[in-house]
Chains A and B, each alone.
Chain A
Amino acid sequence: TQLLEQSPQFLSIQEGENLTVYCNSSSVFSSLQWYRQEPGEGPVLLVTVVTGGEVKKLKRLTFQFGDARKDSSLHITAAQPGDTGLYLCAGGRGAQKLVFGQGTRLTINP
């Protein structure tokens, strides 16, 4: 059972456009992690957010954790072809397993 819903599942946009990916749950998590995965490789950790309302920036990527720690968003400004990949959100409760969303497959067209 997937407890985290990501939307959209697929997104194809032109270089230079902005986009937002959403990660929603009915459950509270103590942390929310965002990963990016290339074909045939393992997920690479981008960021971890732990406090409700927290906002973190990583160059052109902005991550936000909802006030109630049930949802998160990833916003990319001025997308570039190098941003193409599978973006995964994952909720954690302490040292326990991560629960993953199904992923958002992002394609940035030159």
Chain B
Amino acid sequence: DTGVSQDPRHKITKRGQNVTFRCDPISEHNRLYWYRQTLGQGPEFLTYFQNEAQLEKSRLLSDRFSAERPKGSFSTLEIQRTEQGDSAMYLCASSSTGGAYEQYFGPGTRLTVT
């Protein structure tokens, strides 16, 4: 029974560089969510997919951010021209249809922009 996995776990990059994160959801889950968490705060929603369709994007997701889920399985989150304010933990979660739509989170990717 494999949970949600994320790669890499940590990423240090220089300001202005592009970074890409990957999320592999629980295999039978068709919904996938991205959140961002800064120090001392709860996670904040970024975007959400049902299968390969991106159904909702937060205003936090500026035009430097793009997320894809091309085959309805894994997802990638890319940040272009990173800024120091992008430093945060990026969390991925997945859920199945029906029930209470419980979301299960991965271990996160910690991004540090220097």
A96 to B42, CA, bound (A): 17
B33: chain A residues within 8 A (beta carbon): 97-98
- B contact residues, total (Cβ < 8 Å): 29
A11 within 8 Å of B (CB atoms): no
Over the window 75-114 of chain B, the binary record of Cβ atoms lying under 8 Å from chain A Cβ atoms (1 yes, 0 no) is: 0000000000000000101010100111111111010000
Which single residue of chain A is at the shortest CB-CB distance from B50? A95
Q: How far is the CB of B46 from chain A (nearest CB, A)?
A: 9
Q: How far is the CB of B44 from chain A (nearest CB, A)?
A: 7
Interface size class of A (residues with CB under 8 A): 20 to 34
Would A40 and B106 be within 8 Å (CB), given that A92-B101, A94-B101 are in contact?
A: no
B45 within 8 Å of A (CB atoms): yes
